[in-house]
Structure 1
Amino acid sequence: MRFGANYTPSHGWFHHWLDFDLDAVRADLDSIAALGLDHVRVFALWPYFQPDRALIRPRAVDQLVQLVDAAAERGLDVNVDGLQGHLSSFDYLPAWTRTWHRRNLFTDPEILDGQAAYLHTLAAALADRPNFLGMTLGNEINQFSAGPHPDPDRATSDQIDAWLERMLAACEQGAPGRTHLHAEYDATWYQDDMPFTPAQAARHGALTAVHSWVFNGTAQRHGRASVPTEHHAAYLIELSKAWADDPHRPVWLQEVGAPAPLIPAEHAPAFASATVAAALDCPDLWGITWWCSHDVSRDLADFPELEYTLGLLTNDRRPKDIAHTLAALARDHTYDPAPRTTALVVPADPASRSRCAPGGDVFEAFFRLTADGARPTTVLDTRADDPGHLAARGLTDVVTPDQVLGTPSGGTRA
């Protein structure tokens, strides 16, 4: 079990790549390591690293290597996100993909060549670093492929399949044998017309990544201390397993945070404690990486209000109460969850994903079972009668949402 943080530089946010200060990075990493965490996820802003399709800036790549080496000196492993892409409500895309040069991010042959070269370059630069975990293709890059993005790069699921295969292959060729993966926001699991599908999330790459944010309707609908809110991360972990072909495919809770005002600062430690405890009750969990390390500076304008206060540490690197909570969990946790033997049936058809979203019958049934102490996981409707699949996963009870929602419930906590 790994505990880490998504690294947000304390000064300049990810614009720090424009004025890279290794001493400031070292101080940031010191404050993360002091919490007892063992890894960070770092973000290379794509247009800063590859401002032209044929120019991947050597100095930027060298600065990334310096950051990874500084992390190693502090006992921190590093996962690197490449195609940024989208961060904290802002899009960062190279000029050679937009406006007068507008080409589809997922289908245009020249764009794909540029992306593959970029990912390969970053991976190859880090291939000999022992603390380099591997590449994540990009942060929630699925948000570019469909609404509600205001200018989406439309693609079919087959085209996304081909894109994922090529980009992951570029990472593998650059750094063979590392943990290369892709990661999307929860529309992959919840949005009917999203071309990035649950099957892709659970089958492409070395492991499955989930990003859990309760501002998606969960906390609004159920409240900050409800079973659905405190177990939302665990739900995504277990939901992902329905589509996995490997019965023990590892799942990485790669992003989870306590967004104000839905989770007020004074309640953030309790939320973190409950969220982590629920996740630690999920078998095959690779690790938990909190969003994020440091607050966004109030000197920067136009971020959504919640983005300024998500850090475990302040801009002057002081740990908040939630940091002490996470540090204690990282230090004192045990990870030995019992198998989950009850499976809730979920639709394999990606056009029915909204049933799994907040308010959907799958979502509500899962948390009815959770509130009643059943410790559910999930199984596809196309596999629910397959004895071999059920046996491989240790499943002994299979229930449908209508069976669950038609029975008395213990309810959720207010």
Structure 2
Amino acid sequence: MTTAPRTTAPRFGVNYTPTAGWFHHWLDFDLDAVRADLDSIAALGLDHVRVFPLWPLFQPNRTLIRPRAVEQLVALVDAAGERGLDVAVDGLQGHLSSFDFEPAWIRTWHRRNMFTDPDVLDGQAAYLRTLAAALAERPNFLGMTVGNEVNQFSGEPHPDPHRATPEQAGAWLRRMVDACERGAPGRLHLHASYDAAWYLDGHPFTPWHSARIGAATAVHSWVFNGTAQRYGARSTASDQHAAYLVELSKAWAGDPHRPVWLQEVGAPAPHITADDAARFTGATVAAVLDCPDLWGVTWWCSHDVDRSLADFPELEYSLGLLTNDRRVKPAGERLAEAVAAARADWRAPAPRRTAVVVAAGDEVTAPDRSVCGPGGAVFETFMRLAADGARPTAVLAERAGDASHLAARGITELVHPDELRRPSLPLAQSPNGVR
């Protein structure tokens, strides 16, 4: 199926991190506290939130999906709707902010592979279908994401991975997305991987999976992945990293106008300093708004993690657009300004006519996808073009000679990475300076 080009302004939202108890708030669910948090989010002018049930709390036994937990999720969605906020729900948490949340029925004495065991798959599918069905009649329910970066469980560097092949990962994703669709037909159901799917050779979750399975492609952009360290916080590479992932994903998409959701992006300290967070936020949003067919931008995250909670990586405590007591931070102010400006004067971006050719090996498994990561030839060619003021996108080498594919995407110029041997502008310098 081919979708029409997007002509309306993208959606703007935030990943909701509760101020009271972080995602452990489901244990002591306080709807009044949730309402206050949602009020502070709505005041920024945002239109949606992404929320995270904790899988072990909602499904503590393979055949027990707690009705009270589902009721709490529905109450949260209703409270958001009262404030004009739509809600996307992630199911299998899975992994959040360096912590893993696996139910006891797939661990230790009950160890079973979460991607391949038939009983586990039955349980997961029932859980996702149940959550989706509970929300199917809510008009502000956007849809389900299978889970948050669940691909990190499938291989290194996870300390105890659930091994899977690319074929098994693809089969698992299709079954899980189908379960969401069965629960709530026609909503925006998809899956989301951290950037190993795009950058790490041999990783079982592949770019093909992200760009072909589900109703949209989700990308998660974090410059602590080597981008900020290699090129600098104020570099073209850091400012354009989110836009790069959006455009890179299109190389694998079968639909030339498949929507792409920048589902996570944030300003992580110390790679992005507190003094630079607002500038980085504005630069990132400006870059991605120049990407055709962008479904939306969902910032990570709404509120800072309470420092009374222990053992988080330091950067997790300061990623919020608002403080833990709901005061707006400079990055939150900058995002609110960018959202208001985009809605007031929205014009759909023109096609990106210059495409970097991506030779990552077999297009389904992408065995050489590290060429796309920081330091790789595709990454650096894209950033050199962007630094010179071009608006690059990406195309697979397998499709570089397909005239109909290029025409459908508006591509008129191909650039092979070996053609740009020297940058005309150092990648450590942003061409537009401070925004």
Tell whether the structures are fold-level matches, with TM greater than 0.5. yes
Q: Secondary structure at the match of 2:36?
A: helix
Alignment pair present for 1:344 and 2:356: yes
Equivalents in 2 of 1:88, 1:408: separation in Å? Answer: 36
5+ residue gaps, structure 2, are: 1-9, 431-435
Question: CA contact under 8 A between 1:231 and 1:278: conserved in structure 2?
Answer: yes
One of 339, 345, 355 as aligned partner of 2:371: 355
Q: How do 1:172-187 and structure 2 match up within 5 A?
A: 172-187=181-196
* Aligned residue pairs, count: 413
Give the partner amino acid of 2:81: A
| Corresponding residue for residue 411 of structure 1 | 426
| Corresponding residue for residue 289 of structure 1 | 298
Question: CA contact under 8 A between 1:280 and 1:335: conserved in structure 2?
Answer: no
Question: CA contact under 8 A between 1:44 and 1:84: conserved in structure 2?
Answer: yes
RMSD: 0.8
| Corresponding residue for residue 278 of structure 1 | 287
Offset of residue 394 of structure 1: 1.0
Question: CA contact under 8 A between 2:174 and 2:213: conserved in structure 1?
Answer: yes
Alignment pair present for 1:367 and 2:369: no
Question: CA contact under 8 A between 1:123 and 1:175: conserved in structure 2?
Answer: yes
Question: CA contact under 8 A between 1:348 and 1:382: conserved in structure 2?
Answer: no
| Corresponding residue for residue 91 of structure 1 | 100
Give the partner amino acid of 2:278: P
Alignment pair present for 1:58 and 2:74: no
Equivalents in 1 of 2:379, 2:106: separation in Å? Answer: 37
| Corresponding residue for residue 81 of structure 2 | 72
Equivalents in 1 of 2:74, 2:347: separation in Å? Answer: 32
Give the partner amino acid of 2:425: G
| Corresponding residue for residue 116 of structure 1 | 125
Q: Give me the TM-score of the superposition, normalised by structure 2.
A: 0.94
Equivalents in 2 of 1:335, 1:239: separation in Å? Answer: 22
Q: How do 1:250-399 and structure 2 match up within 5 A?
A: 250-333=259-342, 334-349=346-361, 350-399=366-415
Q: Secondary structure at the match of 1:293?
A: coil
Equivalents in 2 of 1:384, 1:266: separation in Å? Answer: 43
Equivalents in 2 of 1:152, 1:335: separation in Å? Answer: 45
Alignment pair present for 1:148 and 2:157: yes
**Residues 250-286 of structure 1: CA distance to partner in whole angstroms, max 9, x if unpaired?**
0000000000011011110000000000000100000
One of 34, 40, 43 as aligned partner of 1:31: 40
Give the partner amino acid of 1:124: A
Offset of residue 336 of structure 1: 2.1
Offset of residue 407 of structure 1: 4.7
| Corresponding residue for residue 258 of structure 2 | 249
Give the partner amino acid of 2:302: S
Equivalents in 2 of 1:153, 1:408: separation in Å? Answer: 41
| Corresponding residue for residue 213 of structure 1 | 222
**Residues 132-191 of structure 1: CA distance to partner in whole angstroms, max 9, x if unpaired?**
000000000000001000011010111111101111111000000000000000000000
Percent of pairs with identical residues:
72
Structure 1 segments of 4 or more deviating over 4 A?
A: none
Equivalents in 2 of 1:109, 1:312: separation in Å? Answer: 41
5+ residue gaps, structure 1, are: none
| Corresponding residue for residue 233 of structure 2 | 224
Offset of residue 374 of structure 1: 1.6
